[in-house]
Amino acid sequence: MLVAMGGGERDEEGGPRAWRRGWWWIVMALVVSMAVLPMPAKAKIDLYMSSDETHRLLGLVAELYYVREGVINSYALDFTVPVPANFTYIYFTWRSTIKRPVQYMAHMEYDNGEAMALPQLNISNKGLVPPRPETFRISLPCSGRVDAEVLVNLHLNITTHSREPNLTNITIKRKKICLKEEFAPRNESIYLRPEWMSSSLGSLYVAMGCACTFTVLVITIASVLYLRFKRAREQGSLTCRYYSGAGFVGDNSGVPASNSGVRGGTSLKSSSYATIASFKKVPILTHQVSGVSGGGDSLHYASSPLSHVYSQPYSPAHSIPASRHSHASCCASSLHSQASWHDPRQMDPSERVRQLTIDRWKVEMGDVLQEGTFGRVHRGVYRDPYARAALSVIIKTVSGEASSSQARMAVREGLLLAGLHHQHLLPVLGVCLAEPRHPLLLYPHLGLSNLKTYLLGCSRGSGEGVKLLTRDVVHIAIQACLGLIYLHQQRLLHKDVATRNCLIDSELQVRVSDTALARDLFPQDYHCLGDNENRPVKWLSLEALIHKQFTPANDVWMFGVLLWELTTLAQQPYIEVDPFEMAAYLRDGYRLAQPNNCPDELFGMMACCWAPAPEDRATFPRLLSSLQDFYSTLSKYI
C-alpha cells in the first residue's frame, strides 16, 4: 500500500524510495489533521451527577459526568434529562482540577412562567469553583396552575485566568414535568334573605353580647394565670420537662432518675458513636476547686465576677440559695431586653484596629495548623525587642486567592472579642495590616486546638486510650457557658455559638473564640439560602433563621446545639434535613433527638434551650446553675 502511495518507483539499489515517500505523506497528514480538527474544550473542572442522584433521577447506578478532568462530554450535555413531577430539587457535584482560581458565572432560564416559579440555585450567581468536591442544588418549584413540560437550562461560564485566559460555556438541560393541582372551590359570597335578617336581628345582638362577655372573662383569667406562672418560673430552678422517643422521660432537676443511667465514670459510647477519648481530667477551673469528701463537694469560681452568685455547695437535698434565684431573675429580664444590645461587627473597627496594630517584622510565621479554601491558621512567634521572651501565637490569615472583601470580613469578625479579658474567652492580641490583602490576626497559643477538630479526633479513637467521661462533657460546657455569660454582661452577642468557634488545651481548658475564617475552615457548617450570605443554618433559632432577629435567646438556642455536639463528638446536626427546609422543620416542632448514652438531665437542658418562643428558653445563668448541680451529682460516683 505504501509503495502504491509513492507511485511505485525504486532507487538504483532497489531500495523502496516510494515507501519512504509514502511515510512522509502520512506524517504530514497527521500534523495537518491535528491543526485542523478542533481539540476537546478544557473547562479545568469536574462537573457530574453523583451515583445516588443518578439513581434517584434516572434509575442508573453510575456517575454521570458532564465535564471530566476538564474534558466536556458534549453527548451528555445535548441530552435533556426529564425531571418527574414529584422531584423539586436536583443536585450536581463539582470541583476545580487546578490550583489556580477558577471563576464561574451561573444563569438560569426557563420557558414557561405560568407552570413554574423562578428556579433558584443555592449558590451565588458568580464566584469560585471549590477545590474539593461540593454539591450544589437547583430548585424547580411548580406553580400547580397548569399541566406542562418546562424546559430549564443552567448556563455556566467557566473562566480560567492564566497566560492564555480560557472561557468555557456549559449548558445543562432539564425538562421538568409540572402537574395541575386541584383546589377545593371557595365560597366567595353567601346570599342572605332580608326577612331572615329582620327576624334574627335581636338574637344576633344577644349572641354577640354573650361572646364579648365570655372573651373578656377568658382574657382576664388567662392574664392572672400567666402572671402567676411567670413569677413561679422566675423563682424556680430550671426544670424543663421534655419527651424522648420512648415517651415521657422526666425532668432535669439534678437528681439521677431511675432510668437515666447516669454514672460519673461512664464514658460516652454507643453503637452510633465511637468510644470517646480524652486527655487527663483536671478541675473545672485552674483556681480553687474543693474535692469530694464525706457528704459533698463544692465548685468555687473565685476568679469569676459571678462567683458570689453561682458557686453552690452540694447538699443531699439539692437546696438552692434564694440569693442566686433573685440574681438569676434579674439577669433573665435584662438579658432578654434588646434595648441596649449592640453588635461590634456593625461598628467602625478602625479605632480598635489602630489600638491593636503591630509591625510585620515582629511576626514570624510557622507551620500551617489548619487550611481552608482561602483561610490559613499558622503557628507563629511574636518577637518584641522590649519583651524578655518571644510569645508563641496562633496566626489567622488569608491566601492570595482571597478577595479584598473576604480579607476585610476576616478582620471585622476577628475584632468581635477585642478588648475583653476573661479566662474562657480568646480575644485577638494584635492585627497586622501591612498588606491589606493579607491581614494577620494574632492570638495567644497556650497549647490550644479547635474543639470541633478535637472531638472529631476523639470519635476516631485518637485520644491515646483515655476515655472522655460525662463529667468531662459537663466540665467543657460549664466553661463555655461562663465565657458566654461574661460576653452578654458586656452587652455583646456572639451569633455563632458552636464547637468550631471554641478552643481546648490538653487539660480540657476551654475558651470561646471569634468567628474569623470559620466559614472557610468549616464550610460544611454554613449554607446559603439564596441571599448570598453563608449562615450556620442548622445552629440558628427559628426567629434568627426566618427574620434574622438575634437576641440573647438565640445564643442560648445555639448553646443547646453545642451541648448536642459535645455529646455526639461533633456530629453534624440535622444531617438528614435540607437547609432550605430547616425553617419549616423547626416550625413544625421537630428538634434534635437525644443522642445515645446522653443523660436525661443533660438532654433536658438542651430541650429547654430549644423552646419556640424566645422568652420561654432557659437563660445562661440558669443553665450554669443546672450544669453545676449536675456536675456535683456526677462527682458522687467517682
Catalytic pick among 496, 525, 555, 629: 496
Distant-in-sequence, close-in-space partners of 604: CB < 8 Å, separation ≥ 6: 240, 241, 242, 249, 250, 251, 252
Give yes or no: 600 in active site: no
Task: Centre a 10 Å sphere on the Cβ of residue 341 and count the other Cβ atoms it contains.
Answer: 14
Each residue of 514-553: b (16+ CB within 10 Å) or e? bbbbbbbbbeebbbbbeeeebbbbbbbbbbbbeeeebbbb
Tell me the C-alpha distance between 433 and 435, whole Å. Answer: 5
Is 298 strand, coil or helix? strand
Q: Give me 379's grid cell.
A: 503557628
- The H or E element spanning position 632 is helix 620-635
DSSP 254-284: SSPPTTT---TT-B---SSSPPPB------S
Is 579 strand, coil or helix? helix
* Residue 168: C-alpha distances to residues 70, 158, 171 (Å): 10, 5, 10
Which contacts qualify for 365-369: CB closer than 8 Å, 24 or more apart? 365/395, 366/395, 369/394, 369/449
HSE-up (13 A, CA, CB side) for residue 418: 25
Is 436 strand, coil or helix? coil
Counting beta carbons within 10 angstroms of the beta carbon of residue 86, is it exposed (0 to 12), middle (13 to 18) or buried (19 or more)? exposed
Residues taking part in catalysis? 496
